[in-house]
């Protein structure tokens, strides 16, 4: 894998093969509050590790599960409740600042 990221305390880490070229600043009611910037990958392209686990929050139409570190509370990623869905979002704000500077930021009003 190529790019490693972690929550603030390091209990949840993830790796992706390549840095994102564009990220999404979702302006829906929950993402706006989280302040996350999402990069999209297939679930098989993201490897999770670390000593801690994550808690999940599912709301609204119950299609997405938002994951956060149980220890420090950082929002790490979202996954689809439907395992057949072949896309997930990882929070680029947990990557090094260089990753964000190299990416184009788009805005949307909800999941794409």
pLDDT digits (tens, 9 = 90+) for 33-74: 999 999 999 999 999 998 878 999 998 888 999 999 999 999
pLDDT tier for residue 89 given thresholds of 50, 70 and 90:
very high
For the chain, give me the number of helices (H) and strands (E)?
2, 10
**CA dist., res. 64 & res. 38, Å (int):** 13
How buried is 100 (Cβ within 10 angstroms: 0-12 exposed, 13-18 middle, 19+ buried)? Answer: middle
Residue 111: the pLDDT is 53
The pLDDT of residue 1 is above 80: no
All domains in the chain, ordered by first residue = 3-108 (2.170.150.70)
* Average pLDDT of the residues of the chain: 92
Give pLDDT, residue 110.
67
In this prediction, residue 102 has a pLDDT band, given cuts at 50, 70 and 90, of confident
CA 8-11-12 angle, to 5 degrees, is: 85
């Amino acid at each position: 894998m190529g790019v490693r990221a972690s929550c603030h305390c390091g209990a949840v880490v993830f790796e992706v093969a390549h840095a994102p070229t564009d990220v999404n600043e979702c302006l829906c009611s929950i993402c706006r509050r989280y302040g996350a910037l999402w990069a999209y990958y297939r679930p098989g392209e993201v490897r999770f590790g670390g000593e801690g686990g994550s808690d999940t929050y599912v709301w609204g139409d119950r299609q997405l599960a938002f994951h956060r570190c149980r220890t420090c509370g950082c929002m790490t990623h979202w996954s689809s409740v439907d395992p057949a869905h072949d896309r997930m979002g990882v929070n680029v704000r947990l990557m090094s600042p260089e990753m964000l500077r190299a990416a184009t930021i788009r805005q949307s009003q909800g999941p794409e």
